[in-house]
Amino acid sequence: MRNITREGKVNRVAENVMRGAQLNGRTIVPHGFATTMTKQRRTMIELATDDFLRHLQERNASAHTIKAYSGDLDTFSGYMGPRDWKKIDHVAVRGFLSHLYDKGLSKTSVARSLAAVRSLYRWLAQEGVVEQNPAKLVSTPRLPKKLPRVPTIEEMNTMLDGKMPEIASFPERDRLMFELLYGCGIRNSELVGINLDDISLSNEAILIRGKGKKERFVPFGGSAATALSAYLPWRQHLLHSLKKTFLTKGSPPLLVNQRGGRLTTRSVGRIIKRIAVAKGLSPEVHPHTLRHAFGTHMLEEGADLRAIQELLGHERLATTQRYTQLSVKHMMNVYDQTHPRAK
């Protein structure tokens, strides 16, 4: 346990003091040390936030989670200023949420900020800094229960059975991306994180590193195997022409860009949307849409909910149960359109 007093003073080890810790793009400046970057004494909340983010990193929280919490808690500390923990109650937290609304943030963004504050206080309680969590007394903004619209099975088959459109820069790679996102139900971040050594052709399975660096094996079918066989020679030819070698530790990436580097999640999102629109799908399609389609279509075809949970890498079954809502909506539409007594 770290040496954190109730007044919020955080003692750092001398090594971190001298070099200044770096976490997710923010400089963690130890309490009581002046630097050329920080001329004012850092607040209690800022110091606690630094340790909390470091704790998340040690727990293998995703980079996206750490980045989101960092931004939200920076805003929280800026609003609260130099107040100590005893002067921050549920009224102050409500004032913080009102401040976010005044800045034009959506309910979703405000709810995320509240969740970040609750998580910070939960950790502070575990460390013995605070006794109560005032953020728990503040209601989460009511969010609209909007179910994602997913392409039908027929739309996905039409999308994947035909040729890649002319706008596809690398048809072999882009087809493989669609086959893996829809055929395996993986996340965008999981897709770009696949290395060559993660693929077992003999077992027709891929090692996937999910949230919190949790690993799972996901099977892939014949269509993905065919797309993989077409892509790998193209990839080898590209890297050979670029004289590209991977000198970093670990296995080289499966999906590469035109410069031979690892494909990014932003690039995947842009490619998926462009090709999907060219093939007649909604412009709202993005990589996670294909993941939703994977879960929804498997449920419609009779797959067990627990099996879908394992394949998707959901920690809680409640997350997977969202697909039952999508499936029920689909069944109601089928009933309304086909049953003679429904007309």
Q: Virtual CA dihedral for 113, 119, 122, 127, nearest 10 degrees?
A: -120
Catalytic (active site) residue 297 = no
Tokens of 278: 């060219």
> Catalytic: which of 187, 235, 273, 286?
187
Residues 224 and 246: their CA atoms lie apart, in Å, by 25
Choosing from 83, 122, 211, 322, which is the catalytic residue?
211
As given in the structure block, the two tokens for residue 167 are 């706008």
What is d(CA 103, CA 89) in angstroms, rounded to the nearest whole number?
22
Classified as helix, coil or strand, 199 is strand
Copy the structure tokens of residue 66.
Answer: 């750490």
Coil, strand, or helix at residue 23?
A: strand
Which residue among the candidates 42, 291, 292, 297 is catalytic per the annotation? 291
Give dist(CA 8, CA 47) in Å, integer: 8
CA distances in angstroms from 138 to 28, 111, 122, 132, listed in the order given: 29, 11, 14, 13
Active-site residue, selected from the candidate residues 99, 209, 288, 322: 288
The CA dihedral of 253, 254, 260, 262, to the nearest 10 degrees, is: -50
Residue 203 CB neighbours (<10 A) = 10
Q: Which residues pair with 91 in a beta bridge?
A: none
291 tagged catalytic: yes
Cβ–Cβ under 8 Å, residues 279 and 159: yes
Whether 279 is a known active-site residue: answer: no
CA within 13 Å, CB half, 89:
2
Q: Strand locations in the chain, DSSP E?
A: 21-23, 26-28, 199-200, 205-209, 215-219
Q: Report residue 199 CA to chain centroid gap.
A: 22
Residues tagged active-site: 187, 211, 288, 291, 314, 323
